[in-house]
Amino acid sequence: MPISELLPHSEPMILITRIADFHQQSLRAEVDISSDSRFFDAEHQGVESFFAIEYMAQAIAALAGVRSRLSNEAVKLGFLLGTRKMQLHSPFLKAGHTYQVNVEELFMDDSGLGAFQCSVSCQDEIIAEAKLSVFETNDENQLLTN
Q: Within 10 Å of residue 11's Cβ, how many Cβ atoms?
A: 7
83-137 pLDDT, tens digit per residue, is: 988 999 999 999 999 999 999 999 999 998 999 999 999 999 999 999 999 998 8
Q: pTM of the full predicted structure?
A: 0.91
pLDDT score, position 140: 57
pLDDT of the residue at 144: 46
Range of lowest pLDDT (19-33, 72-86, 88-102): 72-86
Per the structure, the complete domain to which residue 138 belongs is given by 3-144
pLDDT at 76: 83
Summarised one tens digit per residue, pLDDT across range 40-62 is 999 999 999 999 999 999 999 99
Q: Which pLDDT belongs to residue 114? A: 95
Q: What is the DSSP string of the chain?
A: --GGGTSS--TTS----EEEEEETTEEEEEEE--TTSTTEETTTTEEEGGGHHHHHHHHHHHHHHHHHHHTT-PPPEEEEEEEEEEEESSSEEETT-EEEEEEEEEEE-TTSEEEEEEEEEETTEEEEEEEEEEEEES-HHHHH--
Number of domains in the chain: 1
Return the CATH number at 47.
3.10.129.10
